[in-house]
Amino acid sequence: MRRLHRLQSKTAQPLPRNRNKASTDSSPSSHRWEHGVARLRDAGLPVVARRGCRSRPAIAPGCPVSIGLSSISPGRTSKGRAKPVRLEPHDRIVDQVGKYGFKLLVRVSQDPDKPFWAGNPPENSQHFTDFLAALAKRYKGRIGATRSGTSPIWRANGATSSLIRRDTRRCCAVPTMPSRQTILARQ
Amino acid sequence: MLRSAYNAIKTNDPSATVVTAGMAPTTQDDAIAMPDLKFYQGMYDAMNKNSDGYFDMLGVHGAGYAVAPETDPQVVATDPKLNNNDPSSTELKRVYAFRHIEDVRM
């Protein structure tokens, strides 16, 4: 991850301090942020594909690595309204990740109507379900795992308990998919 | 919602892996939030303790707070500097340790 951040300084425009701004702001800076992250991915994916994760020496060069990096959500306007869903940026992510042989772990934490959070459940769960169905159909076979939430996940069974202990260092690799490793990239 | 989401995804992509939302560890227990273990217990109760048809993997938030991942949760729970001066009971304050994940596994 640190390497990706270093790459950012060389290859992409600076990220704003407030990452949430990207999902709530339709200003030009929001566009620059999105563009910068896209360039960062373009630079970082081949590096990870070639070298694996720096903090995971167990990952041999060329080892398949899974990447979870996409929060699919419509975003909000500055007035709090949901923006029309734009899946084109995510199409690009799925294409790029597939190109390097990774698997995607996708977080879907909002529906087209409203973001939901603690104490703020979705107004219409069917809308969220429909949204998930549309995503599953669009990216059929190209997404390794789909979840709603915000942070690392772990398989919750005894068979992976040793992996859980081994992989906790530096919050980089997450053992979610058999025989693969998952890296949570920040977005 | 979890069951309908699972069905929606599996209907359109049977090979997809469905993961539950990772609960943010907290000791807050009110109308806004609840401890993750309490939520998981309620979730499993609602599923009649059988996750078939609901999810493939259980998502868990394992971020911890201010210590190295390998730190003993009991140490974290008893040191105010490591548990954000949380006034909750010692047992609840284990959520500030990364290895709280092992509490969830149990």
pLDDT digits (tens, 9 = 90+) for A79-130: 766 666 677 777 877 787 777 777 677 777 666 666 555 556 666 778 778 8
Of the candidates A45, A33, A35, the residue with the CA atom closest to the CA atom of residue A4: A45
pLDDT at A82: 62
- Indicate the length of chain A as a whole number: 187
pLDDT at B52: 92
Interface of B with A in 29-48 (CB under 8 A): 31-33
Q: Is the Cβ–Cβ distance between B66 and B30 less than 8 Å?
A: no
Average pLDDT, chain B: 85
Chain A nearest-CA residue for B62: A152
- Residues B48/B51/B52/B56 CA torsion (nearest 10 deg): 170
**A146 and B33: CB-CB below 8 Å?**
no
Instruction: List CB contacts (< 8 A) between B32 and chain A.
Output: 118-119
pLDDT tier at A40, thresholds 50, 70, 90: low
**A156 and B104: CB-CB below 8 Å?**
yes
CA A92, CA A26: separation in Å to the nearest integer? 20
Q: Is the Cβ–Cβ distance between B83 and A171 less than 8 Å?
A: no
Domain boundaries, chain A: 2-184
Mean pLDDT to the nearest integer, B67-80: 87
pLDDT tier at B47, thresholds 50, 70, 90: very high
- CA A28 to chain B, closest CA, distance in angstroms equals 32
Instruction: List CB contacts (< 8 A) between A147 and chain B.
Output: 18-22, 57, 59
Q: Is B49 helix (H, G, I), strand (E, B) or coil?
A: coil
**A149 and B20: CB-CB below 8 Å?**
yes
Instruction: Give A36 or A98, the one with higher predicted confidence.
Output: A98
Q: What is the pLDDT of residues A127-147, one digit of tens each?
A: 778 888 888 888 888 776 665
CA B47, CA B44: separation in Å to the nearest integer? 5
Q: Is the Cβ–Cβ distance between A155 and A105 less than 8 Å?
A: no
pLDDT at A115: 59
CA A50, CA A43: separation in Å to the nearest integer? 12
Mean pLDDT to the nearest integer, A22-50: 54
What letter would DSSP give residue B96? Answer: G
In order, the DSSP letters of A134-146 are HHHHHTTTT-SEE
Q: How far is CA A147 from CA A54, A61, B86, in A?
A: 26, 28, 30
| Complex confidence, ipTM | 0.79
